[in-house]
Structure 1
Amino acid sequence: MKRILVSSSILAMVGGAAFAGGYTAPAAAPVVTPAPMVAAPVAFDWTGAYAGAQVGYGKTNGDLDANGAVGGVHAGYLKDFGGFVGGGELAYNAANVDDGDNGKLKNMTDLKLIGGVPYNRSLFYGALGASYMKADLAGQDHSDTSPMVGIGMKYAVTDQWTVGGELDYRDGHNFDGTDSDVNATTLNLTTSFKF
Structure 2
Amino acid sequence: MKLLTVSAAAIVAASTAFAGGIETAPAPIEPLAPLPPVSTDWTGAYAGTSLGYGSSDIGTVADPNGAIAGVFAGYNVDFGNTVVGAELDLNAADFDDEPTAFIDRVHRLKVKAGYGTGAALFYGTVGAAYASGEVGGASVSDNGYLYGVGVDYAVSDRFHYGLEVLRHEFDDFDNSGIDVDATTVQARFGYRF
TM surpasses 0.5: yes
Letter of the aligned partner of 1:75 in structure 2?
A: A
TM-score calculated relative to the size of structure 1 = 0.77
| Structure whose CA Rg is larger | 1
**1:114 and 2:112 are equivalent in the alignment:** yes
Given candidates 86, 89, 112, the residue that maps to 1:88 is: 86
Partner of 1:67: 65
Q: Which residue identity does 1:79 align to in structure 2?
A: V
Structure 2 residue aligned with 1:7: none
CA RMSD of aligned residues (A): 1.6
- Alpha-carbon offset, residue 173 of structure 1: 2.0
Which residue of 1 is the match for residue 49 of structure 2? 53
- Letter of the aligned partner of 1:90 in structure 2? L
In structure 2, distance between residues paired with 1:82 and 1:137: 47
SS of residue paired to 1:171? strand
2 CA distance for matches of 1:104 and 1:62?
9
Mapped to 2, the partners of 1:140 and 1:182 lie a distance apart of 15
| 1:19-45 deviation per Cα after TM superposition (whole angstroms, max 9, x unaligned) | xxxxxxxxxxxxxxxxxxx9xx76510
Q: Secondary structure at the match of 2:99?
A: helix
Q: Aligned equivalents of 1:98 and 1:183: distance in 2?
A: 14
Q: Secondary structure at the match of 2:124?
A: strand
Specify every segment of 5 or more residues in structure 2 that has no aligned partner in the other structure, as ranges: 1-33
Q: CA–CA distance in 2 between the matches of 1:73 and 1:102?
A: 28
Q: 1:43·1:119 contact (CA, 8 Å) conserved in 2?
A: no
SS of the counterpart of 2:75? strand
The correspondence for 1:132, drawn from 125, 130, 133, is 130
| Deviation at residue 62 of structure 1 after TM alignment | 3.1
Q: What do residues 139-168 of structure 1 show as CA deviations (whole Å, max 9, x unaligned)?
A: 111111101001000000010000000000
Among candidates 152, 175, 190, match of residue 192 of structure 1 = 190
Distance 1:110 1:70 in 2: 13
Q: What secondary structure sits across from 1:176 in the alignment?
A: helix
Alignment TM-score, normalising by the size of structure 2: 0.78
Percent identity between the aligned chains?
A: 40
| Cα drift, residue 174 of structure 1 | 1.0
Figure out how many residues of one structure are paired with residues of the other and give that number.
157
CA-to-aligned-CA distance 1:72-117 (integer Å, 9 cap, x gap):
1000000000020001000011111111122101111100000000
Q: Distance in 1 between matches of 2:106 and 2:58?
A: 17
What is the CA distance between 1:181 and its match in structure 2? 2.2
